[in-house]
Structure 1
Amino acid sequence: MAFPLLLFLHWFTSGRLGIRTEGPSKAPLLLALCPAFVWTIAISALPHKEERFLYVVYPLICLCAALVLAAVPKAILLLFRPLLVPPKTAVRLGVVITWGLLIVGLTLSAMRTTAQLRFYGAPMNLYRALPAEAFSASRPTTNICVGNEWHRFPSSFFLPSPGYRIRFIKSGFGGLLPKEFSAEAGGTAASPAELNSRNQPDDRLYISDAECDYFVGLGEHREGPVEWWAEAGGWQTVLSLPFVEQSQSPSLFRALYVPYLSHRHNTWYEYVLKKRIQ
C-alpha cells in the first residue's frame, strides 16, 4: 500500500497528472522501499517459506506502515481537489481514514499476537514447566528427548537448569539435525563430523529411547515407542497443553485469534511433557 500511495503523490508533485503541487519529490522514498518488495517477492517464490526469512526487511516494513499513515491525509486532499470539496472536509476525512487504518492495524496485530500465544505457545510453556532439579556428580545431566517436533524447541536459555540436555530420538524425521554447541570442541570455529551440507541425517546425533528422562512432543503424532503413551508403561504425563494443528484448521482462524470462532473451527491436538518414572 505504501508504494502505490507514494507513487501517486510523486506523480502529483511532478505534474504528470496535469496538476503540479508543491512538495519534495517522493522518488528517494520509492527507491528506499524497493528492497522490501524485491525481498518479499523473492521469498514468496521459494517452495519453503518461514516468517523468519523476513527479518531482514522488518525495518522497511515498519517504514512502509509509517509512510502510509503519513501519506493518506495528503492523498485524500489531492484526490478531492478536482471535485471542489472544501479542504477542511478533505483533511478531516483523511484524518478519519488514517485513524481507521491505525486501529485496524493494531487490532490485527493484537489478534495475531494472541493467536501465537494461545495456539502455538504450548512448547514454550512445557519447557518452562520442567523442575529445577538438583544434579549430582553421579547424574550430571538429564536428557529431554524430542522427535518430529524438535524444531519447536526455543533455546537452552529457556530451560530451568544447565543440567538439562536436548536429545533426539528417531521418530520419522529424515533430515539433518542440529548439534549441541560445545566450547571444548572449538565452538563456532569447529566443523563437527556429524554435520553435512546435504541435509542428510546422521545416526550419531540420536540416542536410544532408554536414555530419555523426559519427552516433549505432539501427542497426536504418537512419537516414540508405544510404551510412552501408556501411563502404566513407565512414563507419566507431567503436563498437557492444547496446540493447533495447522493442516486441519482454517487459515483465518489459525492465523488470527477470533473469540469463540477460533476455538470452534480449529483442530486441536495435545502437546505433552512426559517423565520416566521407572
Structure 2
Amino acid sequence: MFPNAPGTQSLRFRGPTTASSDAANASEKLKTGAGKKVIKDTLIREQLNRFCGAMYTAISDCDETYNYWEPLHYLIHGHGFQTWEYSPQFSIRSWAYILIHTFPAWIASKVFTLDKRPGFFAIRAAFALISSYCEAKLYRAIADHINLRAARYFLAISLFSAGMWNASTAFLPSTFALHAITLAYSYILEPVSSKPEASKRTFNAVFCLATAVILGWPFVGVLALPFVFEELSMSGEDEIMPASRPVWAMRRFQRLFNSGIMALVLIALPVFLIDSLAYGQLVFVPLKIILYNVFPTQGSGPELYGVEPWYYYFLSLGLNFNIVSILALVSLPCLWLTKTFSPTVGLRLGTRLRHAHQSTASDLLLIRLAPVYIWIAILSQQPHKEERFMYPIYTLISFNAAVTLSLVRGWFEDAFVKATASPYRAGRTSLFGLFTRSILAITIFISAARIFAIQRYYHTPLDIVFHFQYNELPVRAIQSYPSFYQNLKLNTSLPILEALEFAEETVDLSVLKNERLNVCLGSEWYRFPNRFLIPNEIDVKFIDGGFKGQLPGRFLNDEDEQLKKIKLSQDEMALDRFWPWLGTRMNGSSFNSLNLPESDRLVDVEKCDYVITLLNDEILKQESKEWGEICKCEKILDNPRSNWLSRLIWIPFVKVFDDLQDGGLNKFSKLCLIKKKSLVGSSD
C-alpha cells in the first residue's frame, strides 16, 4: 500500500501492483515541477477542442443573441436591439457583465475596421481560452486530491462532451457561472483545514463563487452550500478535540466571513456602481433578478416563456451527456456501496487522513459530489426550465461521472483479486482498462454524433448571414458603385465573386450606407445570430411573422434627437465621462414585462430590401414571385416533422440519418435570403 500524501483523498489504492504504482507515481509528478508538462499538454488539448467549438458552434438560444450579443454590439458599435430586461424600468440584466466582455471585440474593431465579424469570434475565442484554463485547473485538482485515474476520466468526458461543446463558448451568464464554478472547485477539492496556508484556499474558492453569483447568475449560490458546510463543520485535516471545538468553529467562521466580505467589496461594489451608472439609478441587478424570479408581479414571471415537466432536465442531461449523465447521478450510491461493502474500503477510499478526529476521505468526497444533486433537485421544481440552466454544473457532472467510473472499476478489480487470490495478476491484466476505455469510447461516439447533428442541422442561420455579408452585399456594392472600388484591381474577366477571392483588400461596404438598406426578419426572428455578423451599413427590422409575444426593441443611438438633447443637457456631468452610453438609461421602444406584443416593433414588408425567412418547398416558388428573388437558401431541420432519434444525432453513411437528402427520417425546410424585386436589376 502506498501512503497518501498530506492533503490527498485517494479513491482507491490496491496492493503493490505495477498499475497502482505507476498511477501513484504519475499523481505525485503532477504535484511537482515534473507535472508541468502534463498540465501544459492538457491545456493544449482543451484549447484545441474549445477553439473548434468557438469557430463552428451555432447560437442555439435567442436569449444569447438579444440579451447579450446585441447589448454588447451597442456598447462597441452604437446600435443594437434592446429587450425589456434592459429597460431602466425593469433593469434585470447587468451591464457590468456585458462591459467585461467588450475588450476583445473593441480590439478587433480597431484592427479590422471594415469587418465586425472578427469581434464576434474574438469574444468566442476568449471564452474558449477561459474554459480550457478552468477545466485544466480542475483536472489537476482531481489528480492531486482524488487520483490520477479519475482525473483522466474527467478529461476524456469533459473534452468530448456535447454539452461542453455548446456551453463552453456561449455568451450567457450561465456559461460565465460554469467557468467560475469550475475554477472554484479546483480549489474546493483540496481538503479543508485551519492551517494558515489554507486561508488562500478559502478566499480563492469564495471569490470564484461570489463572481459566479454576482456577475453570472445569482441562483448558483446554492452550489456553494456544500463548501460552506465543509468550512464550518468538517474538521478536514484538523485534529479537533471536543473541548476545543467551539474556538475552532469560531475561527473557521471568521475566516469564511472575512473572505466573503473581501469578495463582496471586490465584486459586488464595482457591479453595483457600473449598473447604477448604466441605468441612471441605484440598482443591484442580482437582487432584482432574484425578486423577479421568486416574487414576480401579478401576470409576469419566467413562466410566461414556457414551462416543462419535472423530468425535463434528466432528458436534457441525457441528450448532452448520454451515459455520462447516468454515471454522474449514481455517484453517491456508488460511494456508499464502496464504503459499506468493499472488502478494501480502507484502501479504496482512504482511511482517516491521519487521526481519529479528522474527516474521512469518503465524507469529504460526499461533499464534493453533492452539488450536482442539489442543483438538479432545486431546478426541477421550477416550472420554467431551459437547457442552459444546467450549464453551471456541466464540469461537475463530468467529475461525478469520473468518480463513479473509478469506483466501479475498483469493484471489478476487487472481484478479480478475490477470484484469483493474486493482487499481482490484477495489476497486470488489461481487462479493467478495456472496460473503462469501452465506456469512454461509447460516450465519445454518442457525443460526436450529437455534435455533428447540431452542426449540420442548425448551422444554417450563420451560413445565410455569411452569404449576405460576403457575397450578396459586395456584389451589389461593386456593381452599383464601380468607381469606388477601382483600387481593388479586380479581374474584370471573371465573375465578381470569383474576382473577389483574389482581391488584396477587404471590400469596404460604407458606400451602401446612403441607401439605408434593411434586412427583415419574419417568423424565424429567433434564429438571427446577431448584428456582429451584419455590416453596420445595414439595419435589421422585424416584419409580422405570426409571433404573438414581445419582440425586442432598439437602443437609442447617436442619431436619435431625444438622445442628442439629453447629451447636451448632461454634457458637463462628471459621471457621464465614466459611462458614455446614455442610451442604456432610456427606453428606445415601449416595453412590458408581460410578454405582450408592442405595436412599434414591426415594419411593413415593403420597407424591407432583404428578408430572411423560412420557406417550405411547396410555397418557395410562389413567395419568390410575389415579392422578390431568392438569393440563397439552405436546408434547416424541421423538428416537429422529423424522427426524434435521427434529429438528435447524425451518423455518417447511415441512410436514415442522411441529413440533406430525401428518404431519410428527417424532414427539412429552407431558410432563405430573399431580395426585393426593385433590387434585382441593380445588383445582377
**Residue 109 of structure 1: how far off its partner (Å):** 1.6
Task: From the CA coordinates, give the structure whose radius of gyration is larger.
Answer: 2
User: Which of 38, 45, 52 is 2:388 aligned to?
Assistant: 52
Structure 1 residue 115, shift from structure 2 partner: 0.5
How big is the shift at 1:196?
1.4
Give the conservation status (yes or no) of the 8 Å contact 2:522–2:545.
Answer: yes
TM-score where L is the length of structure 2: 0.36
Q: Distance in 1 between matches of 2:431 and 2:586?
A: 61
Task: State the partner residue of 2:537.
Answer: 163
Partner of residue 268, structure 1: 668
Question: CA 1:272 to 1:59, structure 2 compared with 1: closer, same or farther past 3 Å?
Answer: same
Deviation at 1:76, TM superposition (A): 2.4
Q: Which digits, 9 at most, give the CA deviation of each residue in 1:109-142, with x for residues without a partner? A: 2111110111111111111110354344863642
- Structure 1, residues 30-55: CA drift from partner, whole Å, max 9, x if none? 33333323333454555554322222
Contact 1:228 1:235 in 2 (8 A): no
**Matching residue of 2:609:** 213
Is residue 2:200 matched to residue 1:200? no
Structure with greater strand share of residues: 1
| Residue matched to 2:328 | 2
Structure with more helix by fraction: 2
Q: What letter matches 1:32 in structure 2?
A: R
TM-superposed deviation, 1:99 = 0.7
Compare 170-179 and 46-55 and name the one that shifted more: 46-55
Does 1:240 pair with 2:578? Answer: no
- Tell whether 2:433 aligns with 1:95: yes
How large is the RMSD of aligned CA atoms in angstroms? Answer: 3.0
Give the partner amino acid of 2:341. L
User: Aligned partners of 1:183 and 1:65: how far apart in 2?
Assistant: 49
Identity %: 26
Q: Are the counterparts in 1 of residues 328 and 404 from structure 2 also a CA contact under 8 Å? A: yes
Q: Distance in 2 between matches of 1:115 and 1:204?
A: 38
> Secondary structure at 1:78's aligned position in 2?
helix
Q: Distance in 1 between matches of 2:452 and 2:553?
A: 32
CA offset at residue 85 of structure 1? 6.5
CA distance in 2, matches of 1:79, 1:144: 67
Deviation at 1:61, TM superposition (A): 2.5
What pairs up with 1:165-204 in 2 under 5 angstroms? 165-182=539-556, 184=558, 186-204=582-600
Contact 1:219 1:272 in 2 (8 A): yes
The alpha-carbon distance between structure 1 residues 78 and 27, as it changes in their structure 2 partners (threshold 3 A), is farther
Q: Is the 8 A contact 2:635 2:671 kept in 1?
A: yes
Q: State the Cα deviation string for residues 239-270 of structure 1 (Å, max 9, x = none).
A: 11111111111221101002322231111111
SS at match of 2:550: coil
Aligned amino acid, residue 209 of structure 1: V
- Residue identity in the other structure for 2:537: G
Q: CA deviation at 1:101?
A: 1.6
Structure 2's unaligned 5+ residue stretches are 1-326, 351-360, 474-508, 564-581, 659-663, 679-684
* In 2, Cα distance between equivalents of 1:151 and 1:241: 17
Q: Is the 8 A contact 2:519 2:538 kept in 1?
A: yes
Give CA-to-partner distance per residue, 1:149-184, whole Å, 9 cap, x none.
11111121122x122222111111001112234455
1:12 to 323, 334, 338: 338
Question: What is the alpha-carbon distance in structure 2 between the residues aligned to residue 215 and residue 239 of structure 1?
Answer: 11
Greater shift, 68-77 or 195-204, is seen at 68-77
2:199 corresponds to which residue? none
Paired amino acid for 1:38:
I
Distance 1:99-1:214 versus aligned 2 partners, 3 A rule: same
- Partner of 1:217, secondary structure, is strand
Is 1:250 the equivalent of 2:643? yes
Greater RCO structure (CA 8 Å; 6+ sep): 2
